Amino acid sequence: MRPLPNDDFAPAPRCVETGLNILVVGVGGQGVLMISKALALLAQRRGFEVKQSEVHGMAKRGGIVFSHVRFAPKVWSPTIAKGEADVLIALEWAEGLRWLDHLRPGRGVFIADTRRIVPPFACRSRKPGAPSAYARETPAEIVGRHADGCALDATEIATALGDARTANTVLLGRLSAWLDYPVGDWHAVVEAIAPKGTAEINRRAFDAGRAWTPPRTDIGDPGTADATVASPPLAALPDLHISVAIDPAWCKGCAICVKLCPERCLAMDGPIAVVATPSACTGCRVCEWLCPDFAVTVRNEGVPA
Amino acid sequence: MLEATRTLPFDIKDYLRLDTMPHFMCPGCGHGIALRALLAAVHDCGIDKDRLAVVCGIGCSGRVGGYIDANTFHTTHGRPLAFATGLKLARPDLTVVVVTGDGDCLAIGGNHLIHAARRNLDITCLMLNNEVYGMTGGQASPTTAATRLTSTTPSGAIEPVFDACALAAAAGAGFVGREVTRQAPALKTLIARALRHPGFAFVEVMSDCTEIYGRKNDLGEAPEMILSQKADMRPEARRDAPDQPFRPNALPTGVFVERDLPEYGERWRAHAAALRGETER
Amino acid sequence: MTARLTALHGNHACALAAVAAGCRFFAGYPITPSSEIAEHMSHALPRAGGVFVQMEDEIASIAAVIGASLGGMRAMTATSGPGFSLMQENIGYAAMTEVPCVVIDVMRGGPSTGMPTRPAQGDVMQARFGSHGDRPVVALAPASVQEIYTETIRAFDLAERLRTPVTVLYDQVIAQLLESVAIPPPEAVKVAARKWANGAGGFQPYAADDDGVPAMARPGDGHRVHTTGLTHAESGFPTQSPAVADRMMRRLLGKIDLHLAGIEKTETLATEDAEVLVVAYGITARAARRAVTELRRDGVKAGLFRPVTVWPFPERALLRAAETARAVLVPEMNAGQLVLEVQRVIGRAPPVRPLGRIDGEPMTPGEIAAAVRELARHA
C-alpha cells in the first residue's frame, strides 16, 4: 500500500481500455443499485460487455445491499473475487470497511461516504445514549493507507443541494474523476437513470461529487473531521425523564413485569413486584402494557403510552 | 364522532373507577391487559366517557365493564349483544362496546353473535377468549382446545373448538380481527380500528386464565403463559409465509375482514324517514 | 276532542295503544297468537319516529327492549307462552335493575308448544313466579279489546312510575277478536314521565326517594353509572353485605306496596249480597259476567269479582267482595292457578272451588252457572 500523495484528490483519470471491476456497497434505500445501473449503462454505451450481480434481500430492514459491476471486452464471471475489485464505492462507512478486502492490493480505489448508519443490533444496551459497537475505524485510518481514494460526507453535500437521496450520485460524480470518460457521457447516463423529475438535482449532485476537493486544512487526511474521535458521537438525546413505579396496593404479584422486562430492572419482593434497578429502565413500557392490574406506571415522553 | 384523536398522553386512571380498584381478577389474568388496551384505544379514538356505553355479559369478562368510568351495563349470560342492539338503536349517539367471553359469546350467546354480525349494527364486540369458564371454576368452553384439562373434561377435552373470527366473518361482520394480550400495543391499535369501523366489529382477544386453566394444564405461571402466546400466533401479515418459522396450527392474528357494509342503524333511520315521507304525502 | 270509535282486533288495539302511550321501541320474535302486535308495530313505529327490530329469539327481544329502555326509549315486546318462558331471566334482570318496559303475553294452550291457536290462561303463575328469585311483579289482565287498549297504556304508565317491567296478560280469543274501541284523544292519554336524574354530582343510582323509586341515569348525561343484575348497593355496584342486600331487596319489593292504590284495579258485579262469588279474569270473566247476570235473574245470589290487575293480587278488594259469600268459584282456562291465590287470601272459609278448563276452548257461561248453582245448593 502506498501512501496517498497530498495532491491526489484530483487524480489523473485512468484510461480504461481493458475493463474494470467495480463493487458498490451500502444498505437498503441508499441507491446502490442506481449507481451500478449507471455504471453498467455507461460501459455498455462504450461497447463493453457488462455483467452486474446484486444482493438486496434484507434491504427493507436496513440490511446490506451490494452490487458487482464488471465490464470488459469479454466478461466471464458475474462476480468479483476477493482482491480483484478496481473500485469500491461505499455508500455507508462500515459497509465499505467490510468489503475492503475485495480491492486490488495497492491499486484499488476506495470511494466512501463517511455517513454512518448504525444498525439497531450495534447497540448492546437499550439505555439512551449508550455506546454502540459500530466500526471504530476512521476514514483517516483507511483512506490512503490501505487503499487509494477518498472519503467524503456525500450525504451532507447532497442535503445541501436539496435532496439527501442524491448522495449516491455525488459518489458517482466522485468516481468519474478517476475514469477517463467524457463528462457528457456521464451526464447522459445520469439523466437516463435518474427517477422521473430528479434529473436536474442528480446532475448537480454528480457535478458536486466530480468537483469535490477536501477542505484545505484536511489535505492529506481526508475525513479528518470525522476521524478525530474514535467513536462517532451520537446526536445528544433529549432528557426523557424516564421512570418506572409500581403501586403496591394494586400489584397482585403475577411477576409478568419482572419476567418480561428486557432490562431486568424489576424484581419480586415477597408477594409483590418492586423496582430493583430503576437506572436500568429504558422506558419501553412493556411492563406497563402487560400489567393486568395497572400497578405499573412508566414515565417516558419519548414512548407514547 | 370518532374522528377526533387525543393528543394528551394516555393515563389509564382517567378511565377507571378508582374506588373499585384494584380489580377482582386473579393475578396474571389477561383480561386486565385487554381492558388497558381497550381504554387506550378509547383514548386514542377521542371517545367521550359520557358517550361510551360498555355492555358486558356474565363471567370473568362480564366483570370488566364495572371498572370502566363510563356508562356500564352488566347484563345476563350470553345476552350483551342483544342488550347492546337495543341500546344502540335507541341511542345512536353512544359508542357501544360489548365485552364478552368465549362461553358468553360462543356458547350461550352464539345465536346473538351471528345475528349481530349479520345485522351489522355499529357495535364493537370484544371477545376475551381464555378458553375456559373461569368464574364458575374452570369448565370447558367452546374454545377449550382438545386434550386440555378442565373441571368438566377431567380426562381431556374431546370436542372441536370454534374459530370465533371465522364464525363472525361468515355471519357477515364488517370488521374481524384477533390479537393476543402479549401484543398489547398492537391489540390497542386493533381495537381502535374496530372502534372506528362503522358497523359491527368483532375483536377476539386471546387472554390467559392463569390461576385455573393455566394451573390445571401445567402451562406455567403468568409470565410463562404470556410469553408462550407469541409462539402460538402468526400475524396476518405473514399469512402467506410458509409455516416454517411458526408452529403448526399457529393462531392467525391481525385484521381478517375489513369491508364497508351498510350499517343497520343508518339503514333503519333512512328506511323510517322514507316511510314518514310517504305518510306525509 | 272526544274519543273516536273504531273496530279493532285485540292485538291491533294493543299496538295502537302502545304507540299512543309513547312506546318508540319494539323488539320481538314471531309467535302465534301475538305476531300481529309485531306486525302492527313494524308499520307504526317507523312512521312515529321509533324503532322496530325483529330479533333472533325472545331472549334477544326482551334484552333489546331493556337496552333501549336503558337508553331512554319507552319500549315493549310481545310474545306468547313459549316465548314468555324464554324471556323470564331477562324480565328478572329488568326488575332487578329497575328498567321500565312492557311485556305483552298473549296466552295460548300449553305446556310446551301446546295449542298455539287456542286460548288459555296458563301463564298467570308464570307471570308471577316465572323468573327466579323474588321480584316486584305487576301483571294486568284485560278482558276486552277496549280494555287491551286502556290497560296497555296503563302498563306503560305503571312501568315508568315504578321503574319495573309490567306484563299484560290476555288470551288468544281477545287477541284476535274484533270489537269496537273508543280511542281516547291524545291529550287524554296519561303516561308518567320517567324520573331522570339531574346532572348533580355524587349521584347514587339506586338510592330511592320517598316513593321507593330511584331516579334513573340517562347515558350521556354525565352520571356514568354501573347497571348490574347482581344484588347491588345504592351505588349500583355489587354487594355481598347481608345488611345492604336486605335493605335493597326490601326497598325493591316494597315499591309495589308503596304504590298499591295506583296499581290495583278490580271490577265487581252484584257482590253486595252474593252468596256465591265468582272470581274470574280475562276472557273467562266475560263468561262469568253473563252467568252471574243470568243467575241473578233466576234468583241465585251470585256475584263477580274481576281482578283487572292480577299481580299484585288485590287481596283487600277480594276480601271485601267476599264478605257475604258462602262459597267462592274460580273458573280459569287452566288446571287451577289463580285459585291458589284466592284460597290463600280467603283462608279456610268460605270454601274456594276451582273450575278448570284445559281443552283449548273458552269457558262458557253455562258451565260457570252450573257450577255456581251446584255450590249454592250445598252452601
Give A219's pLDDT tier (boundaries 50, 70, 90): very low
Give the gap in angstroms from C-alpha A1 to the nearest C-alpha of chain B: 47
All three cell numbers of C183, joined, read: 280511542
- Pick from A57-66, A265-274, C296-305: least confident: A57-66
- Residue A249: which of B148, B23, C307 has the closest Cα? B23
**Residue-level pLDDT at A124:** 66
Give the gap in angstroms from C-alpha C145 to the nearest C-alpha of chain B: 27
Cα(C282)–Cα(C171) distance, integer angstroms = 7
Mean of the per-residue pLDDT values of chain A: 81
Cα(C56)–Cα(C45) distance, integer angstroms = 19
Q: What are the C-alpha distances in Å from A215 to residues A212, A218, B60, C78?
A: 9, 5, 71, 91
CATH 3.30.70.20 segments of chain A: 243-299
Range A225-232 average pLDDT: 39
Range A100-124 average pLDDT: 82
Mean of the per-residue pLDDT values of chain B: 91
Q: Which residues of C touch B (CB under 8 A)?
A: 25, 27, 45-47, 49-51, 53, 55-57, 59-61, 63-73, 75, 89-90, 93, 217, 219-230, 237-238
CATH number, domain of B158, equals 3.40.50.970
Contact C312, C341 (CB under 8 A): no
CB contact under 8 A, C72 and B20: no
**Residue-level pLDDT at A10:** 47
CB contact under 8 A, A293 and B11: no
Between A95 and C334, name the one with better pLDDT: C334
Between A8 and C123, name the one with better pLDDT: C123
Classify domain A243-299 at the CATH topology level.
Alpha-Beta Plaits (3.30.70)
* DSSP category for residue A280: G
Three-state SS for C311?
strand
CATH 3.40.920.10 segments of chain A: 20-227
Residue labelled with grid coordinates 317507523: C46
**Residue-level pLDDT at B250:** 76
ipTM confidence: 0.96
**Residue-level pLDDT at A234:** 45
> B50 contacts in C (CB within 8 Å)?
219-222, 224
Give the helix/strand (H/E) hosting C79.
strand C75-80
**Residue-level pLDDT at A61:** 59
Count CB atoms within 10 A of the CB of residue A284.
Answer: 18
> A267 contacts in B (CB within 8 Å)?
none
- Pick from A2-16, A75-89, C70-84, C228-242: least confident: A2-16
Cα(A293)–Cα(B58) distance, integer angstroms = 20
Instruction: Tell me the pairing of strands B95-101 and C226-228.
Output: unpaired
What is the C-alpha end-to-end distance of chain A, expressed in Å? 55
Give C72's pLDDT tier (boundaries 50, 70, 90): very high
Cα(C363)–Cα(C330) distance, integer angstroms = 11
All three cell numbers of C63, joined, read: 334484552
Contact A283, A253 (CB under 8 A): no
- What lies within 8 Å, CB to CB, of B234 at 6+ separation is B241, B246, B250, B251, B252, B253
Q: Do chains C and A touch (3 or more CB pairs under 8 A)?
A: no
Neighbours of chain B (3+ CB pairs under 8 A): A, C
Give the gap in angstroms from C-alpha B143 to the nearest C-alpha of chain A: 22
Count CB atoms within 10 A of the CB of residue B154.
Answer: 9
The reply to whether B146 touches chain A by the CB within 8 Å rule is no
**Residue-level pLDDT at C226:** 96
The reply to whether B84 touches chain C by the CB within 8 Å rule is yes
The reply to whether B275 touches chain C by the CB within 8 Å rule is yes
Domain boundaries, chain C: 4-188, 267-378
Exposure string of A63-87, with b = 16+ CB inside 10 Å and e = fewer, is ebbbbbbbbbeebeeeebeeeebbb
* Number of B–C residue contacts, CB under 8 Å: 141
**Residue-level pLDDT at A75:** 87
Cα(A35)–Cα(A56) distance, integer angstroms = 14
Give the gap in angstroms from C-alpha A154 to the nearest C-alpha of chain B: 36
Three-state SS for C108?
strand
Residue labelled with grid coordinates 403463559: B225
CB contact under 8 A, B94 and C71: yes
Give the gap in angstroms from C-alpha B87 to the nearest C-alpha of chain C: 4
- Residue C171: which of C108, C125, C237, C93 has the closest Cα? C108
All three cell numbers of A44, joined, read: 455498455
pLDDT in tens, A175-209: 988 888 888 999 999 999 888 889 999 999 999 99
Cα(C181)–Cα(C148) distance, integer angstroms = 9
All three cell numbers of B265, joined, read: 342503524
**Residue-level pLDDT at B278:** 66
Per the structure, the count of domains in chain B is: 1
Per the structure, the complete domain to which residue B210 belongs is given by 14-280
All three cell numbers of C374, joined, read: 251446584
**Residue-level pLDDT at C316:** 96
Amino acid at C23: C
Q: Which of A249, A252, A305 sits opposite B27 (nearest CB)?
A: A252
Q: What pTM value is reported for the model?
A: 0.79
* DSSP category for residue C222: S
Count CB atoms within 10 A of the CB of residue B19.
Answer: 7
* Number of A–B residue contacts, CB under 8 Å: 70
Beta-bridged to residue C25, according to DSSP, are: C51, C75
CB contact under 8 A, B28 and A260: no
Cα(A173)–Cα(A169) distance, integer angstroms = 6
Classify domain A20-227 at the CATH topology level.
Pyruvate-ferredoxin Oxidoreductase; domain 3 (3.40.920)
CB contact under 8 A, A292 and B32: yes
Exposure string of B37-53, with b = 16+ CB inside 10 Å and e = fewer, is bbbbbbbbbebebbbbb
Peptide bond just before A262 cis, omega within 30 deg: no
Q: Which of C51, C89, C223 sits opposite B76 (nearest CB)?
A: C89
**Residue-level pLDDT at A59:** 58
The reply to whether A272 touches chain B by the CB within 8 Å rule is no
All three cell numbers of B170, joined, read: 361468515
The reply to whether B186 touches chain A by the CB within 8 Å rule is no
**Residue-level pLDDT at A223:** 44
> A260 contacts in B (CB within 8 Å)?
223, 226-227
Contact B81, B111 (CB under 8 A): no
Range A158-175 average pLDDT: 92
Q: Which of C217, C220, C229 sits opposite B51 (nearest CB)?
A: C220
All three cell numbers of C251, joined, read: 326497598
All three cell numbers of C103, joined, read: 311485556
**Residue-level pLDDT at A140:** 78
What DSSP line would sit under A26-62, residue for residue?
Answer: EETTS-HHHHHHHHHHHHHHTT-EEEEEEE-TTGGGT
CB contact under 8 A, A252 and B10: no
CB contact under 8 A, C27 and B69: no
The reply to whether B276 touches chain C by the CB within 8 Å rule is yes
All three cell numbers of A21, joined, read: 471491476
Cα(A221)–Cα(A143) distance, integer angstroms = 8
CB contact under 8 A, B82 and C59: yes
Q: Does domain C267-378 have CATH number 3.40.50.920?
A: yes
Q: Do chains B and A touch (3 or more CB pairs under 8 A)?
A: yes
Does the structure show a pLDDT above 80 at A147? no
> A305 contacts in B (CB within 8 Å)?
9-11, 40
Class (C level, CATH) for C4-188: alpha beta
Give the gap in angstroms from C-alpha B71 to the nearest C-alpha of chain C: 4
pLDDT > 70: percent of chain B: 91
Domain C267-378 in the same topology as domain C4-188: yes
The reply to whether A241 touches chain B by the CB within 8 Å rule is no
**Residue-level pLDDT at B215:** 92
Give the gap in angstroms from C-alpha A244 to the nearest C-alpha of chain B: 14
* DSSP category for residue B143: T
Cα(A297)–Cα(C285) distance, integer angstroms = 70
Cα(C180)–Cα(C170) distance, integer angstroms = 17
Give the gap in angstroms from C-alpha C170 to the nearest C-alpha of chain B: 26
pLDDT in tens, B190-248: 999 999 999 999 999 999 999 999 999 999 999 999 998 877 777 776 666 555 555 55
> B275 contacts in C (CB within 8 Å)?
46-47
Phi (first) and psi of residue B176, to 5 degrees? -135, 130
Does the structure show a pLDDT above 70 at B72? yes
Cα(A32)–Cα(A48) distance, integer angstroms = 21
- What lies within 8 Å, CB to CB, of C287 at 6+ separation is C280, C331, C362, C363, C364, C365, C368
Alpha helices in A108-198 (DSSP H): 139-142, 154-161, 167-176, 183-193
Q: What is the dihedral of CA B197, B200, B206, B212, to 10 degrees?
A: 140
Does the structure show a pLDDT above 80 at B3? no
Give the gap in angstroms from C-alpha B82 to the nearest C-alpha of chain A: 28
Cα(B183)–Cα(B180) distance, integer angstroms = 6
pLDDT in tens, B119-166: 999 999 999 999 999 999 999 999 999 999 999 999 999 999 999 999
Range A127-146 average pLDDT: 74
- What lies within 8 Å, CB to CB, of A178 at 6+ separation is A11, A13, A14, A87, A109, A111
Cα(B79)–Cα(B85) distance, integer angstroms = 10
Does the structure show a pLDDT above 50 at A220? no
Instruction: Decide if B6 is inside a domain.
Output: no
> B49 contacts in C (CB within 8 Å)?
224
- Pick from A118-132, B172-186, C30-44, C228-242: least confident: A118-132
What DSSP line would sit under C155-180, residue for residue?
Answer: HHHHHHHHTSEEEEEEEHHHHT-EEE
**Residue-level pLDDT at B239:** 64
A256, A291, A303, best to mutate vs chain B, most B CBs in 10 Å: A256
> A249 contacts in B (CB within 8 Å)?
22
For the ranges A32-41, A239-248, C350-359, the one whose mean pLDDT is highest: C350-359
Contact C51, C77 (CB under 8 A): no
Instruction: Decide if B5 is inside a domain.
Output: no
**Residue-level pLDDT at B281:** 44
Instruction: Decide if B8 is inside a domain.
Output: no
Does the structure show a pLDDT above 80 at C212? yes
- Pick from A247-251, A299-303, B268-272, C375-379: least confident: A299-303
Range C120-133 average pLDDT: 96
Neighbours of chain C (3+ CB pairs under 8 A): B
Residue labelled with grid coordinates 268460605: C350
Range C282-302 average pLDDT: 97
Task: Determine whether C49 is exposed, middle or buried from the number of CB atoms within 10 Å of its CB (0-12, 13-18, 19+).
Answer: exposed
All three cell numbers of C23, joined, read: 312506546
The reply to whether B275 touches chain A by the CB within 8 Å rule is no
**Residue-level pLDDT at A129:** 66
Q: Which of B11, B40, B226 sits opposite A290 (nearest CB)?
A: B226
**Residue-level pLDDT at A221:** 46
**Residue-level pLDDT at A98:** 87
**Residue-level pLDDT at A246:** 96
What DSSP line would sit under C65-110, residue for residue?
Answer: HHHHHHHT--EEEEEEHHHHHHHHHHHHHHHHHT--EEEEEEEEE-
**Residue-level pLDDT at A236:** 46
Give the gap in angstroms from C-alpha B271 to the nearest C-alpha of chain A: 43
Does the structure show a pLDDT above 90 at A146? no
Q: ∠ CA(B110), CA(B111), CA(B113), 5° rounding?
A: 65
Cα(A214)–Cα(A177) distance, integer angstroms = 14
The reply to whether B268 touches chain A by the CB within 8 Å rule is no
Three-state SS for B130?
coil
Amino acid at B39: L
Q: Which of C49, C57, C71 sits opposite B91 (nearest CB)?
A: C71
pLDDT in tens, A271-290: 999 999 998 898 899 999 99
The reply to whether A29 touches chain B by the CB within 8 Å rule is no
CB contact under 8 A, C224 and B79: no
Contact A68, A80 (CB under 8 A): yes
> B94 contacts in C (CB within 8 Å)?
71, 219-220
